[in-house]
Amino acid sequence: MDRPQMRLRNSMTRKTGAFAPLDPANVRLYLCGPTVYDRAHLGNARNVILFDLLFRLLRHDYGDAHVTYVRNFTDVDDKINARAAATGRPIGDITDETIGWYHADMDALGNLRPTHEPRATAYIAQMVTMIEGLIDAGHAYAADGHVLFSVASFPDYGTLSGRSVDDMIAGARVEVAPYKRDPMDFVLWKPSDAETPDWDSPWGRGRPGWHIECSAMAKELLGPSFDIHGGGNDLMFPHHENERAQSCCADPDAGFAQVWLHNEMLLVEGRKMSKSLGNFFTVRDLLDRGVPGEVIRFVFLSTHYSKPMDWTEEKAREAEATLRKWRALAAPGGTPDPAVLSSLRDDLNAPGAIAELHRLAKTGDGAMLAASAAVLGLLTPELGQWSETGDDALVEAVLAARLDARAGKDWARADALRDGLLAAGVVVTDGKGKGWEAGTGFDPAKLEGLL
């Protein structure tokens, strides 16, 4: 069966090329998930939305039953241990609570749940087995209760991030320790003290290093070779570089991930998000301020994943106005527009797909608009409650349509919409408050049929 052609940019090759899954009956994806000790900040949502878009598109093209998506939870980590020590709370309580928060926040942004959401602590045995194999093959060594991966044993190290070992040493905070043979060697297993979670291993009671977690979970759930691995570009080195090294050495005849997909970072009002600048906030902060999850999703999708994304209040206002208009037009029973799908298949070009949705809205084909938007996770029933404000939604949809008409120099339509607003008793307040007020003789029923 012929499948539609998709193109993706592979971080490994730095090139965009045709994507062909290893097994069309089981397209396999892995996304590095959160370390669960606190709320997800806004930047954490970008790769979740990106992979949700990819998941939706692949399910459309290959069938829901033929795509396997894994996103892990790191529930053993020194940050979690520190949070437990600082609060006096059990680690399990902290991780369970944080996973609940994460699900609620990501659901509110319209993200589908992955096929599998493994917790690292459930895969310790697989990690130990992989580490034993690396030692037997000469790629790792035990020293002072630790096990370390020997970077020198993998000549291809640095290919993913495009750095030489010297550059990596200079650009990273490399832990110098007497038990290391080389400063770049990284920890696969480490000893635990009485206050730290621990498990039995051939090297004594201890816990895994961070990087081995994803390699073991990906192999167990997707196999030693799978299709796409991703995350934010801040994970490319050292996390993904180390993952790739240990996985390729553990299974030298396999390819691990065929395509590496990395998204760029987030800005807020043109500046890097940071607590010192007062522009650091979580997804929940925005939701609690009344910004709808669908609006957040729309803003994220409006910038290509390969470019830095700038979150601004103006973009959020524009997104809300657009979504109100589209929801007033949307109707069931349609099929996705080929031009929308073509944009998405071209390296997940969501901004191009959104441009096509604007075109569909102008044609008035509400059924095709809704079906096409759903591939992007927009205009879905699950995300629609925020816009169900009756008269307000209708008025704002007409106002948004008038702005679109003016922008397109369709003066006749703009005038007709203005006259309709006046006849319905709508008083435009030029951006003050919500931008309009109900005047004398307000009758929103008179607006029906204008869109």
Residue 428 lies inside a defined structural domain of this protein = yes
pLDDT for the residue 172: 55
pLDDT for the residue 424: 86
**What is the Cα–Cα distance from 320 to 42, expressed in whole angstroms?**
18
The first and second tokens of residue 66, run together, are 């033929």
Q: pLDDT tens-digit profile of 374-402? A: 999 999 998 988 876 556 778 888 888 88
In the sheet with 146-149, reading across from the earlier edge strand, the strands are 140-143, 146-149, 186-191, 206-208
Residues 160, 11 contacting (CB under 8 angstroms): yes
HEC letters along 304-351: CCCCCEEECHHHHHHHHHHHHHHHHHCCCCCCCCHHHHHHHHECCCHH
User: Domain containing 185 — which CATH number?
Assistant: 3.40.50.620
Total domains, the chain: 2
HEC letters along the chain: CCCCCEEEEECCCCEEEEECCCCCCCEEEEECCCECCCCCEHHHHHHHHHHHHHHHHHHHHHCHHHEEEEECEECCCHHHHHHHHHHCCCHHHHHHHHHHHHHHHHHHCCCCCCCECCEHHHHHHHHHHHHHHHHHCCCEEEECCEEEECHHHCCCCCCCCCCCHHHHHHHCCCCCCCCCCCCCCEEEEEECCCCCCCECCCCCCEEECHHHHHHHHHHHHHCCEEEEEEEEHHHHHHHHHHHHHHHHHHCCCCCEEEEEEEECCEEECCEECCHHHCCCCEHHHHHHCCCCHHHHHHHHHCCCCCCCEEECHHHHHHHHHHHHHHHHHCCCCCCCCHHHHHHHHECCCHHHHHHHHHHHHHHCCHHHHHHHHHHCCCCCHHHCHHHCCCHHHHHHHHHHHHHHHHHCCCHHHHHHHHHHHHHCCEEECCCCCCCEEECCCCCHHHHCCCC
Residues 110, 378 contacting (CB under 8 angstroms): yes
Beta partners for residue 18, in sequence order: 7
**Residue-number span of the structural domain to which 423 is assigned:** 390-451
Q: What angle do CA 421, 366, 350 make, to 5 degrees?
A: 105
Residue 70 lies inside a defined structural domain of this protein = yes
Residue 401 lies inside a defined structural domain of this protein = yes
Do 255 and 397 have their domain in common?
no
Residue 196 lies inside a defined structural domain of this protein = yes
Residues 73, 95 contacting (CB under 8 angstroms): yes
What's the sign of the alpha-carbon dihedral 188, 69, 227, 223?
positive
Domain boundary among 232, 263, 294: 263
* Cα separation values, 214 from 30, 114, 137, 398, 418, Å: 9, 15, 20, 49, 57
Do 259 and 398 have their domain in common?
no
Residue 151 lies inside a defined structural domain of this protein = yes
Domain boundary among 263, 292, 319: 263
| Main-chain phi, psi angles of 389, to 5 degrees | -115, 25
Residue 220 lies inside a defined structural domain of this protein = yes
Residues 283, 295 contacting (CB under 8 angstroms): no
pLDDT for the residue 194: 87
Residues of the chain with pLDDT under 50: none
Residues 191, 146 contacting (CB under 8 angstroms): yes
pLDDT for the residue 430: 61
**What is the Cα–Cα distance from 35 to 33, expressed in whole angstroms?**
7
Taking Cα atoms as reference points, which of 57, 10, 3 lies closest to residue 377?
57
The pTM is what?
A: 0.86
**What is the Cα–Cα distance from 435 to 120, expressed in whole angstroms?**
49
Residue 247 lies inside a defined structural domain of this protein = yes
Residue 281 lies inside a defined structural domain of this protein = no
The first and second tokens of residue 161, run together, are 């991030």
Domain boundary among 233, 263, 293: 263
pLDDT for the residue 278: 78
